[in-house]
Every structure is written in C-alpha cells, then in structure tokens.
Amino acid sequence: MEKAEIFLLFISLVSPKSTFIMLNLVLFGPPGAGKGTQSEKIIASYGLTHLSTGDLFRKHLGEGTELGKLAKGYMDQGHLVPDAVVIQMVEHKISTSTDSKGFIFDGFPRTTAQAEALDVMLQKNGMHISGMIALDVPQAILKERILERGKTSGRIDDQEEEKINTRIQVYLDETLPVASYYEKQGKFHQINGVGQIEDIFNQITAVIDGF
C-alpha cells in the first residue's frame, strides 16, 4: 500500500464523522409534567440507559455497597447525602454501563451545584450533556394530573393538595434554576407538555434529532 493510501485510511478512521457521539439528556420538569411517560418513550426509541438517583440509592443501600454504607451514614444522622457521594453513584452507573448509547438523567441534577459537579465528572470521562428537554405544564394542570395519579399510585404526596403544593414550590425554588444553568450553555430546550402523548413525544424527537 502506498504512503498516500495509508494516510487516507488513517484519516478516515479518525475522522469526526466516524466517531460515535453518546447522547446524554437531562429530562426536566415539575412533578406531574409527564417525565416518566416521555422518558420511557425516549429510552425505547434511542436505546438510552435510564439514570435515576432514586434507583441508585435503592441499589447501593439494598446491596450494602461502600457507597451505600457511606450514604446510609449520613441518612442515619438525619443529614442529606452530599452531592459528592451522589455523583460517585452516578459515575459508577456510567462506568458499568459499557454498552450504553447514552443516558437519560431523570430527576437529576436537582440543583445548580449538582449540574456543575455532573459536568466536571462527565468531562473527566470524555462525555458531556447533549441537552436538557424541559416539559412546560401550567401549575393548575400539574395539580390535576397528580391528584388523578394519586387515585392509583398509593403515594400520600400524590393525594393531598397541600403536599402537592409543597413539592411544586420546592421545584420552583431549588430545581428551576438548573434550567438557567443549561440555558447559558445553549442546551435548554422547552417543550409544551400539554396535549397528546405522541404529539409531545414528536416535539421531543425533533429536538433530539437536531443535536
């Protein structure tokens, strides 16, 4: 093989066009916005791995891992588990999901500090957040949806309006600022979360396919 041919072969192998780019999404929205429903459809369509901190806590606590023991120590003392421990759980999930095409972060990050820590961890692993998909739903509709869900979910915080109001307010005070963090990075994409499930999903896929 001539040197020129070898060079062209090398270029084709390392060309950005042939490089696989992992799709990593933050699915965002208040309680009752429909994140669970749309998350399932996104995962099925794009082959992503669902990453929920609630699931991670249950796994590590249930299996008694070192991270689980560390988290339990804080919880037993009535403290919140530090972001550093949560990020370690997230990193462990990512590092052990070797065949994943990407991740959909559900309910995380909840604060700007967590978003910053997530970016640092992802960059260390040669990854980044592709974009945030935010489902926008008026508060009155959120309450209607949660109360309706409460008829079958069995969750007390889905059945009492006072608790629902508190959950929405916590979201507005603590979690909503995360949207501004990603907006500054040009990664924030708001979707109208009211309407037919398929119509909402089509809006989401239009955004994702544009990444």
* Residue from 35, 93, 145, 187 carrying the catalytic annotation: 35
* Residue from 155, 163, 184, 187 carrying the catalytic annotation: 155
* Residue from 41, 59, 101, 167 carrying the catalytic annotation: 167
Q: How many Cα atoms are found within 13 Å in the side-chain-facing hemisphere of 149? A: 19
Active site residue 163: no
Active site residue 58: no
Active site residue 35: yes
Active site residue 145: no
The label of the residue with tokens 């949207």 reads: 179
* Residue from 41, 59, 143, 149 carrying the catalytic annotation: 149
* Residue from 101, 110, 143, 163 carrying the catalytic annotation: 110
Q: Would you say 194 and 145 are in contact if contact means Cβ atoms under 8 Å apart?
A: no
Burial (0-12, 13-18, 19+ Cβ within 10 Å), 104: buried
H helix and E strand count, the chain: 10, 5
3-state SS track over 132-174: EEEEECCHHHHHHHHHHHHHHHCCHHHCCHHHHHHHHHHHHHH
Whole-number CA gyration radius for the chain: 20
Alpha helices (runs of H) in 171-209, residue ranges in sequence order: 177-184, 197-208
Element (H, E) at 27: strand 23-28
Active site residues: 35, 110, 149, 155, 167
